[in-house]
Chain A
Amino acid sequence: MAADRIELKDYLRETNLIHSRLIALVVLLCVLTFILVARVWYLQIYNNERFEVLSKDNRVRLVPMPPVRGQIFDRNGKVLAENIPVFTLEILPKDVENMDALLDEVTRIIEVSPNDVKKFKALVKSHRGFEAQVLKVNLSEEEVARFSVNQHRFRGAQVQARLQRNYPYGGEMAHVLGYVGRINQRDKESIDAKAYKGTDYIGKRGIEARYEDQLLGRVGVEQVETNAHGQRIRRLDKNEPVSGDNIYLNIDADLQVKAREYLGDRRGSVIAIEPESGEVLAFVSNPVYDPNKFVNGIDHRSYNALREDVNRPLLNRTISGRYAPGSTIKGLVSLAALENGWSENKHITCPGYFTLKGSSHRYRCWRRGGHGSTSMLKSIMQSCDVYYYQLANTIGIDKLSAFLKTFGLGSQTGIDLDGEPSGLVPSREWKRERRGVAWYPGDTLNTGIGQGDVLVTPLQLGVISATLANRGRRIEPRLVGRLEHSANGGSDKAVTTLVGAELGTVVAKPRNFDAIIDAMEAVVGHPRGTAHNSAGKNVGYTMAGKTGTAQVVAIPQGARYDASKLNDFQKDHALFVAFAPVEKPKIAIAVIVENGGSGSSAAAPVARKVADFYLLNKDANAAEPVLPESGQEPSPEPLASVLSQ
């Protein structure tokens, strides 16, 4: 619209044209506005009475019919999460004339705690009068009967039968299942409100949260005729809800309970995986909490007590606890070395410490006197640190960390639970980026014995153990085995089976795998293996394992680790990874006992008992003790061998 072009046009004519058209628009605006106002006037003023009547006895309402949440079972069909009917006493504030009088009357026939009354009053204040609020949950049959007889006296109050989530195993499954809780404002932001019409609960953690979409089901709608107070008179039509899928876990509930029992009251984690399929057989994090308390909202005091508990029961150690793997990593370091040209027959002399060229710093072996001349087999069997200082120093951090990563260290396992951390395999680039300092040779040595910056979750340890058992075949661990879809009306149910994805294969020669696995078998089976005394006697099958002890506090140069001088939270973590039977592995296990001391005495016996229970159906804690407790003298040979048949 350069000025010179406008000169050429008949500007005045154009202006007049547009002005006349704008005036036409003003006329149109007036006409349309008149139509709108007239229409609203017709509805609001002229027909007001008719619509007011319609609104007052708006008789037909669409009432959502919430679906029944899917149940959760273990691999053998034991119920882990169910829906039980409960009666709740609810009050609809808009129908109540005198709330205090009503509460007074009601509490005379049904016992309601002052705390419940307080909670109820807060709910009434914070919500609109059109929404019924719960005064008491879990009414007894007797209370329901008493209320029903007197119902006419309590306008606005009603007893509702509802389904409520229940976890029969209590805390045992808490870290796997998680729990459902009432839908809160935060949830509302992220869910499709229509799908949750009439549903009060949503999965908050664990399987309940991860498989929310499958467990929820589809909401139905009922058309009901109501009276002026909104109370229903009869049903006109309905569209049935579809129940959520039933979920069958791969978890073996008996094994899970026993595994936690074997852990005792110590903090820690046990994970058991079927190596072939990646199915998770047991997933224990100790201590636990009772998920049932969360279903209807846990009270502040109990919640704070859980949160402030020094043992941190709310922490799911198995998936989100991050620990130094300690010596359990040595099998992988050996494999890395063998793949990089190291010979398994090469011997190293362990004088009890290792020094780098040109440095006087002594990197100690756990055995102060040293292991003497050490082969690779002996280094794994007796967990010689000096051997791994040497190995790590020889192959270097670049190759070492690359190899550890091919095993899945430093990345999520892909298990079907939310919030999995990736763990950490340090590298030069990582240290430069995160710490801003260069990589030192000493860092390589620490990595070689699973200390320093290496971090793994118990789950990752379990998966590594399964990968070793599979000789390098990596598979995603899976908690859920299958989903059973509820067919509408019919009894035949469609089933979806879930399997973990194949994550590829660790590239290593079969010969090298043999060497590592033989050595791990010696850890348990050889009289001088680190786990032999505590867990390796009278095993009715073959077992390969590796102990680990992870330092929690740094020990100064020249000082000695002395458990008696440390408080309970500074003691070493005890670790053990294992799989059995060696020829055809059926179970891979990882155990971490926080501040348990040494891996051989604290963690290995737990793994042994878990394997015994799973493979031989032999319970170490049965009335008659079968296995010696760690630290005690082994029981006489004949008795044990008889029982192990």
Chain B
Amino acid sequence: MPFRIKVDMPLMFGLLMLCVGSLLVLWSAGGESPRLLISQSIRMGIAVVGMVVLAQVRPDTLFRWTPYLFAAGLGMLILVLLVGDVGKGAQRWLDLGVVRFQPSEAMKLAVPMMVAWVLTRKTLPPNFKNLFYAALVLGVPSALILVQPDLGTAILILMSGALIIFLAGFAWKHIGILAAMTAAAIPIAYHFLLRPYQQQRIQTLLDPWSDPLGSGYQIIQSMIAIGSGGAQGKGWTQGSQSQLEFIPDRHTDFIFSVFSEEMGFIGVLILITVYVAIVARGLYIAYYTKDTFSRLLAGSLSMTFFFYVFVNIGMVAGMLPVVGIPLPLISYGGTSMVTLMAGFGILMGIHNHRSLMSR
């Protein structure tokens, strides 16, 4: 059988639209700096190549590699806590000499894969023993990342694992019990688990106007930017909130504020449509693939991607606390882009090999 490079065209099309959109917004948000665009384009190129390569890998190969990947990732996470570099108040980098590497990024893929691996070893829905193992492989890395501290990534990883467990048929009754327990645990977690700066973010969320020049500044300015955009926006590179530097971190986490100020509600609808289309395609792939491992993984990866979007827009629009999650594929920055594209590579791989798998 001749070897042919195969990608999933609908996914590819949606992702490329996001990349082009990203470059356009970055031009405006980054002060019209060509260097910013060039380095972002290079990252996109690398990420796309990685995605295409992963798209050729068979899911059963991935399945076999999962435990090793997970073990390596876990080892690096422990290493990072022992010897990692501290950047911006958090210890998340591992210096490998040539590249600085964030093991928590790799875990975004390795953890859901491992949870799916654990659960698919027995017929679904999972029994109590397998659920316990799944909770273990999900909880330990999340806890390690939480103490770095990197709340945003920990939440995303927990979410991706939880999605696998949900897809695997975790009983609705138990979901209800867990939800009730979580609600009860929130005040306790708030006081004992969160760092002061994280508590501050939540207080700010509840009432940003209580401290408009201090901790509420960022979120108020972001909301003003979004709100003043109106239906049609102020025009590309014309947003006064963005260009007059009222918005902090405007080419990274807060890039959605720039986008919505300049492109307006119409632009936002188009952007969200593209995102939802990509996620829908992912869920479609999950639905029509044949083996259980692939189904769980594809469903989790697609929906986690949407959580990225939801949490980021939610936080810049003042609905959710600021947890430092970038707008996927639009924000400036490399590591998360590579991981995201790798995730789509896995999705494409699952779709490419759907007929080979199954029985």
Contacts and interface: CB of A to CB of B under 8 A. Distances in A.
Interface of A: 1, 3, 6-11, 13-14, 17-19, 21-22, 24-26, 28-29, 32-33, 35-37, 39-41, 43-45, 47-48, 50-52, 54-56, 58, 60-62, 128, 130, 185, 188-189, 223, 230, 236-237
Interface of B is mostly: helix
A33 B276 CA distance: 8
Task: Give the residue among A7, A14, A26 with the most B Cβ atoms within 10 A.
Answer: A14
Contact of A36 (B35, B295, B314): B314
28 contacts: A1-B120, A1-B291, A3-B359, A6-B291, A7-B359, A8-B123, A17-B125, A18-B168, A19-B287, A25-B167, A35-B319, A36-B310, A36-B317, A37-B268, A40-B265, A43-B223, A44-B226, A44-B227, A48-B227, A48-B228, A48-B229, A51-B228, A54-B228, A58-B224, A60-B212, A188-B33, A223-B213, A237-B213
A54 to B, nearest CB: 5
The 8 closest A-B pairs by CB, nearest first: A51-B227, A55-B228, A9-B123, A43-B227, A44-B265, A51-B228, A17-B169, A21-B167
A52 B227 contact: yes
Contact of B268 (A7, A32, A44, A188): A44
B228 A29 contact: no
B123 A130 contact: no
B303 A25 contact: yes
B260 interface: yes
A27 to B, nearest CB: 11
A55 B292 contact: no
Interface stretch (B99-107, B142-150, B190-198, B238-246): B238-246
A162 B227 CA distance: 37
A55 B166 contact: no
Contacts of A128: 31-32, 237, 243
A18 B167 contact: yes
Contacts of B279: 29
A228 to B, nearest CB: 10
Contacts of A17: 124-125, 168-169
Given A1-B291, A39-B317, A25 B213 contact: no
Contacts of B237: 128
Contacts of B358: 6
B331 to A, nearest CB: 16
Contact of B280 (A3, A29, A48, A60): A29
B226 A14 contact: no
Contact of A44 (B124, B230, B287, B293): B230
B292 A1 contact: yes
B124 A55 contact: no
Nearest to B230: A48
B213 A29 contact: no
Interface in B216-274: 217, 221, 223-231, 237, 240-241, 243-244, 246, 260, 264-265, 268-269, 272
Contact of A185 (B33, B212, B213, B293): B33
A287 B58 CA distance: 68
B313 interface: yes
B260 A44 contact: yes
A130 to B, nearest CB: 5
A51 B286 CA distance: 42
Contact of B63 (A1, A19, A47): A1
A37 B273 CA distance: 10
A51 B224 contact: yes
B292 A18 contact: yes
B85 interface: no
B131 interface: no
A37 B303 contact: no
Contacts of B299: 18, 21-22, 25
Nearest to B232: A44
B167 A40 contact: no
B280 to A, nearest CB: 7
B30 to A, nearest CB: 11
A283 to B, nearest CB: 35
B296 interface: yes
A240 B166 CA distance: 53
B8 interface: no
Contact of B229 (A44, A56, A62, A188): A44
Contacts of B156: none
A29 B224 CA distance: 27
A18 B213 contact: no
A36 B272 contact: yes
A1 B213 contact: no
B293 A236 contact: no
B313 A40 contact: yes
B169 A21 contact: yes
A166 B111 CA distance: 58
B265 A41 contact: yes
Contacts of A29: 276, 279-280, 283, 303, 306
Contacts of A13: 123
A241 to B, nearest CB: 18
Contact of A61 (B168, B246, B272, B292): B246
Contact of A62 (B124, B168, B217): B217
Interface string B292-321: 110110010001001001100110011100
Nearest to A11: B359
Given A6-B291, A44-B265, A52-B230, A14 B124 contact: yes
A333 B125 CA distance: 84
Given A17-B124, A40-B268, A185-B35, A22 B227 contact: no
Contacts of A237: 213
Interface string B26-59: 0000011101000000000000000000000000
